[in-house]
Amino acid sequence: MSYISSVVLTVRAVWHRSIRPALVRDTVLLPLLGFSVILALWWSVATFFTHLLPTPMEALVANLDYLLHPFYRRGPGDLGIGWLLLASLRRVFLGFLLGSLVAIPIGFWIGMSRQAMLAINPMIQIFRPVSPVAWLPIALAVFNLANPSAIFVIFITSLWPTIINTALGVSSVSQDYLNVAQVLEMPCWRQITKIMLPASLPYIFTGLRISLGIAWLVIVAVEMLTGGVGIGFFVWDEWSRLNLNSVFLAILVIGCTGLLLDVLLSQVQRWVTHRPATIR
């Protein structure tokens, strides 16, 4: 009896100390409430308009195969959703990496030089509002292949936010830090690597996170147009087969992956800058 009561006491103590009720409410209960409201809405709509939508339960059952076997290979073009996701991620990473490698130096350059800013800024302002998908025909004409064209579009997508934020970060490096560098007689190159780069890293990461977020938005649209293997074409393909169940699954997978990408990048930011990712 005393054993049971001590267990109860321990559980209660742990509950109050480590898994605080308020924390559980904020991180588990309230988000769950939000999801269940949406789910209930979907369910009620699907129940009344059966020809429009599958109910959540029907969608789950229909997608069970995808969920249980994400990495199946059943002949050419018939791949599990995990493979499709990896193919899309590969395009995004390649384009994003190339874009960042170009954008960060350009951002640095226009952040440091007024002339460069005046020369390049108008171009950026004109290209930035253009939907990156509009570059696809040009890319297709140049590369003649779907895959490099998709990567090129992601490359273009990744340029603008990173350039703009890097330039902002570099041009707003505190004069105090530059005074320290000058008093210590740092050569120009070391001022860039030792002072300006670390000082503007938070801004650069903000740019990178916006870029990656938009790139993940754009890849779905690009793949719908180019076809091939990828989560975006999967969405279009399933719609063509009037299989809305899989479209619901795809939306959920795309959303979770986007969230994961942003969380990962903010972890990298925390690790690189030694400071929590507060911006944005």
Phi, psi of 79 (to 5 degrees): -115, 155
Q: Which of 137, 159, 110, 124 is nearest to 222 (CA)?
A: 137
Two tokens, residue 162? 């990173």
We find the least distance from the C-beta atom of residue 14 to other proteins, in angstroms, to be 30
We find the least distance from the C-beta atom of residue 78 to other proteins, in angstroms, to be 50
Within 8 A by CB and 6+ apart from 91, the residues are 147, 150, 151, 154, 219, 223, 230
We find the least distance from the C-beta atom of residue 179 to other proteins, in angstroms, to be 6
Instruction: Tell me which residues touch other proteins (CB under 8 A).
Output: 174, 176-177, 179-180, 182-186, 190, 194-195, 198-199, 201, 273-275
Q: What are the contacts of 142-151 at 24+ separation with CB within 8 A?
A: 146/226, 146/227, 146/228, 147/91, 147/226, 147/228, 149/222, 149/226, 150/91, 150/95, 150/219, 150/222, 150/223, 150/226, 150/230, 151/91, 151/94, 151/95, 151/98
Q: Which is nearer to other proteins, 246 or 266 (CB)?
A: 266
Q: Which is nearer to other proteins, 201 or 231 (CB)?
A: 201
In this structure, the number of other CB atoms found within 10 A of the CB of residue 276 comes to: 10
Two tokens, residue 212? 């990656």
| End-to-end CA gap in the chain | 54
Q: Is 73 strand, coil or helix?
A: strand
We find the least distance from the C-beta atom of residue 268 to other proteins, in angstroms, to be 15
Two tokens, residue 188? 């120009």
Q: Which is nearer to other proteins, 120 or 178 (CB)?
A: 178
Q: Which is nearer to other proteins, 200 or 246 (CB)?
A: 200
Q: Which is nearer to other proteins, 195 or 277 (CB)?
A: 195
Residue pointed to by tokens 């479209």:
247
We find the least distance from the C-beta atom of residue 185 to other proteins, in angstroms, to be 6
We find the least distance from the C-beta atom of residue 191 to other proteins, in angstroms, to be 10
Q: Which of 251, 252, 245 is nearest to 52 (CA)?
A: 245
Q: Which is nearer to other proteins, 257 or 273 (CB)?
A: 273
Q: Which is nearer to other proteins, 208 or 222 (CB)?
A: 208
We find the least distance from the C-beta atom of residue 56 to other proteins, in angstroms, to be 46
In this structure, the number of other CB atoms found within 10 A of the CB of residue 112 comes to: 16
Q: Which is nearer to other proteins, 184 or 251 (CB)?
A: 184
We find the least distance from the C-beta atom of residue 183 to other proteins, in angstroms, to be 5
Two tokens, residue 123? 């171009």
